[in-house]
Structure 1
Amino acid sequence: MNTSPRSFALDGSRQITTPVHGLDELRERFAAWLGRRVGAPVSLEEFAPPRGSGSSAVSVLVSATWESDAGSSTLELVLRLPPRAEAVPLFPTYPLATQAAVLEVLGGLDRVPVPAVYAFEESPEALGSPFLVMERVHGEIPTGNPSYAIEGWLLDAAPHERRRVQDGTIGCLAAVHATPDPAARLPHLATNGNVDALRAHVAAQQDHYAWTVSLDGVRVPVIERAFEWIESHWPSDPGEPVLSWGDARLGNVVFREFEPVAVLDWDMAALGPRELDLAWFLLSHEVNQGTAEAMGLPGLPGFCATEDVVASYEARTGHQVRDLDFYRVYAALRLSTIRAQVTRRLIHQGLEPPESGDDYAGHPSILATLLEQLS
């Protein structure tokens, strides 16, 4: 599929990533909180957002040291907080408690490499908002800006090394989906007993889209057409729900020596069919590959090809992947809703509004292209 995301000409004042407000004050408050926790004054040698940090929650890399009777101690951590309202959030709420619970469940099962949870604070007293603190895992991450299909370590890797990255990530995805009794282990993800997981997932997505429209009244017709399309193409048997990663993409995996050592970002974790994650993973790579091709570059031809990814997943799980066109459209719908909200963020920072509602989702739109191909 030769599609590409809309590119925005950004100056230094415009940020697709979520900005960190009041970094100096946040640093002081976090040092005080950590000092109380370890029982000694703490020095923060590093306290800064990672390069190209995410567009949803706020992330800060932390390196902390302190002295005690036992000697010198060091901790390397990642702090995550919800964005402030003035940052034009991508989602109405940020379930840090869900992220913490998923990490603790997966860490306890020891089947998926995830960062250890150092602390979760639901009270805003310490930092002004709830926050999650995790172990920092070092390694290489395939970046989205600039795209890993344009430059970087993955582009420079040999074909067999890229294959290790692909297979290792699919292995992690299969392991996430193999989480036993996910509804019992993560009861806040469970749906009402009268609503199946896919119905609940789509209903939540409809609520998300309605929330974005309520902010400025701008509707995105292609998203609304996609909701109609998925209703008329609903799977006859979505299968038993599994723990869904929600944001299954290479940019949310830390690698060392081309092997995954940490699976990140559980903001969109849910219960649902396996194909939710598979379609999102494939779409994410298509976006990166399409970005390279739109620039006249080869990108990574053959990498994360649909047939290879599906075959690898089926071999690992014994599950026959089905209704992939439905889940591709739904993944593109979800991505378009997020992109439309990113556009609102950029308008808030001074970008001229697009001429049409559909252009909020990017032009050319991956979702519009898919709907045209499948009509």
Structure 2
Amino acid sequence: MTTVRTLTRDPLLLRSRLDAWLTEKHPGARSRNVRLPASDAVPGETVLFDLAVPHPAGTARQRIRPCVLRLAGDPEGYPLFPAYDMAAQYRVIRTVAARTRVPVPELLWLETDPDPLGAPFFVRERVPGRVPPDTMPYTFGGNWLFDASAEDRARLERSTLRVLADLHTLPGEGTLRAHVDALRAHYAWVVDGTARSPLVERAFAWVEKHWPADPGASVLSLGDARIGNIAYDADFTPAAVLDWGTASAGPRELDLAWLLHQHRFFQDLTVTAGFPGMPDFLDPGRAAATYAELTGHTPRDLDFHLVYAALRHAVVMLRAGHRQVRFGQREMPADPDALIPHRDTLEAMTEGRHR
């Protein structure tokens, strides 16, 4: 499994600086139970804490509010992405909250000045709910989703697709071409000064060769549209979509394909490890039909978008692999494509083979 080191800043110093900043926002406010999540696959760095605010009238009691701090990635910490626009993330969440039915966490503060914590950040509420685990992936078993009934899994699948359907009512200012060009720029940044990936470059060539005749209208795209980016209520429906760091614009199929690819990625890992996994969950044909029912839009060029989703993931995992090497978690392989966990799947997809 690929694990990524998370916070690269000094946690004790970060907490003292956070408390100083909180005091300016609310006299007497302090952070409690500052900690890092078990894993952090989202852009930037995440800190969990409880906000303690004194009650009025000088009482000793405090109001406690669970919070999440989303901090721009440390440029000295070998971040996964070249840029972190925290203000843009904040605006996207605010827009989604105001103009759609998509559940999102309540936003508390945005800080664009890098001085308080060393980088721009925002604070949001921490939403109670259950998130399908990434480590170990939910497909390996021993978790609430794997143990759920077929009916509950179906409810989660359908309600997740409804989130995408609701989000995609918002138009987006961007195109598929702009999305691919941005990914090319990201890849160039990842391999700057190090070995290039033959597999990634073949996949880019495949994308150009199989470009859709009509990519379709652009909508607001979540980017990280996987179930591991959603907290679910006890009834298996979404309580909140959590992170919006890779939100952009493009065809509806970008999000749908990412959702399906991320499950296949975990399912393939599980089968390779000798376990059955969840082969009937998030079936592409069923998911496409459900999305069409919910939106009136029949997904098109889904095979193209599934390959493109696997390519997007390969670029991120290539950087994650380089980051592991930087922090001494693994040796640099002779073949840079060995850093991509789903290389066999991506190769098969671009070569027209079934895997």
- Structure 2 residue 86 is the aligned partner of structure 1 residue 96: yes
- Normalised by the length of structure 1, the TM-score is 0.89
Q: Does the C-alpha gap of structure 1 residues 363 and 374 become closer, same or farther in structure 2, counting only changes over 3 Å?
A: closer
Contact 1:117-1:133 at 8 Å conserved across structures: yes
Deviations 1:51-85 (A, max 9, x none): 22335321111102132425532222100112212
Q: Which residue of 1 aligns with 2:158?
A: 167
- Structure 2 residue 41 is the aligned partner of structure 1 residue 54: yes
Q: Does the C-alpha gap of structure 1 residues 138 and 111 become closer, same or farther in structure 2, counting only changes over 3 Å?
A: same
| 1:76-95 pair list within 5 angstroms | 76-95=66-85
Q: 2:226 aligns with which of 249, 260, 269?
A: 249
Give the Cα separation in 1 of the matches to 2:249 and 2:163: 17
| 1:212-361 pair list within 5 angstroms | 212-214=190-192, 216-257=193-234, 258-350=236-328, 351-361=330-340
Letter in 1 for 2:144: W
Identity %: 39
Long gaps (5+) in structure 1:
1-6, 9-14, 184-189, 192-196
- Normalised by the length of structure 2, the TM-score is 0.94
Contact 1:220-1:360 at 8 Å conserved across structures: no
Long gaps (5+) in structure 2:
none
- Structure 2 residue 181 is the aligned partner of structure 1 residue 203: yes
Give the Cα separation in 1 of the matches to 2:116 and 2:325: 32
Q: Does the C-alpha gap of structure 1 residues 239 and 363 become closer, same or farther in structure 2, counting only changes over 3 Å?
A: closer
Letter in 1 for 2:212: P
Q: Does the C-alpha gap of structure 1 residues 175 and 363 become closer, same or farther in structure 2, counting only changes over 3 Å?
A: closer
Give the Cα separation in 2 of the matches to 1:262 and 1:20: 27
Give the Cα separation in 2 of the matches to 1:19 and 1:64: 20
Give SS of 1:373's match.
Answer: coil
Q: Which residue of 2 aligns with 1:123?
A: 113
Give the Cα separation in 2 of the matches to 1:337 and 1:79: 26
Give SS of 1:365's match.
Answer: helix
Which segment drifts farther, 136-145 or 40-49?
40-49
Give the Cα separation in 2 of the matches to 1:157 and 1:198: 37
Letter in 2 for 1:238: P
Once the two structures are TM-superposed, the CA of residue 230 in structure 1 deviates from its matched residue by: 1.0
Contact 1:246-1:277 at 8 Å conserved across structures: yes
Give the Cα separation in 2 of the matches to 1:297 and 1:168: 27
Q: Which residue of 2 aligns with 1:140?
A: 130
Give SS of 1:217's match.
Answer: coil
Letter in 2 for 1:61: L
Once the two structures are TM-superposed, the CA of residue 232 in structure 1 deviates from its matched residue by: 1.1
Give the Cα separation in 2 of the matches to 1:293 and 1:86: 37
Q: Which residue of 1 aligns with 2:147?
A: 156
Once the two structures are TM-superposed, the CA of residue 16 in structure 1 deviates from its matched residue by: 0.9
Q: Does the C-alpha gap of structure 1 residues 332 and 364 become closer, same or farther in structure 2, counting only changes over 3 Å?
A: closer
Once the two structures are TM-superposed, the CA of residue 267 in structure 1 deviates from its matched residue by: 1.1
Letter in 1 for 2:44: A
Give the Cα separation in 2 of the matches to 1:84 and 1:278: 31
Contact 1:114-1:263 at 8 Å conserved across structures: yes
Q: Which has the higher contact order (CA 8 A, sep 6+)?
A: 1
Give the Cα separation in 2 of the matches to 1:206 and 1:54: 20
Contact 2:4-2:40 at 8 Å conserved across structures: no
Letter in 1 for 2:18: F
Deviations 1:8-39 (A, max 9, x none): 5xxxxxx514224211111111112112111x
Letter in 1 for 2:23: G
Give the Cα separation in 2 of the matches to 1:92 and 1:115: 25
Give SS of 1:104's match.
Answer: helix
Q: Which residue of 2 aligns with 1:187?
A: none
Letter in 2 for 1:173: L
Give the Cα separation in 2 of the matches to 1:165 and 1:274: 20
Once the two structures are TM-superposed, the CA of residue 374 in structure 1 deviates from its matched residue by: 5.6
Give SS of 1:231's match.
Answer: helix
CA RMSD of aligned residues (A): 1.6
Letter in 1 for 2:242: L
Give the Cα separation in 1 of the matches to 2:242 and 2:56: 35
Which segment drifts farther, 152-161 or 50-59?
50-59
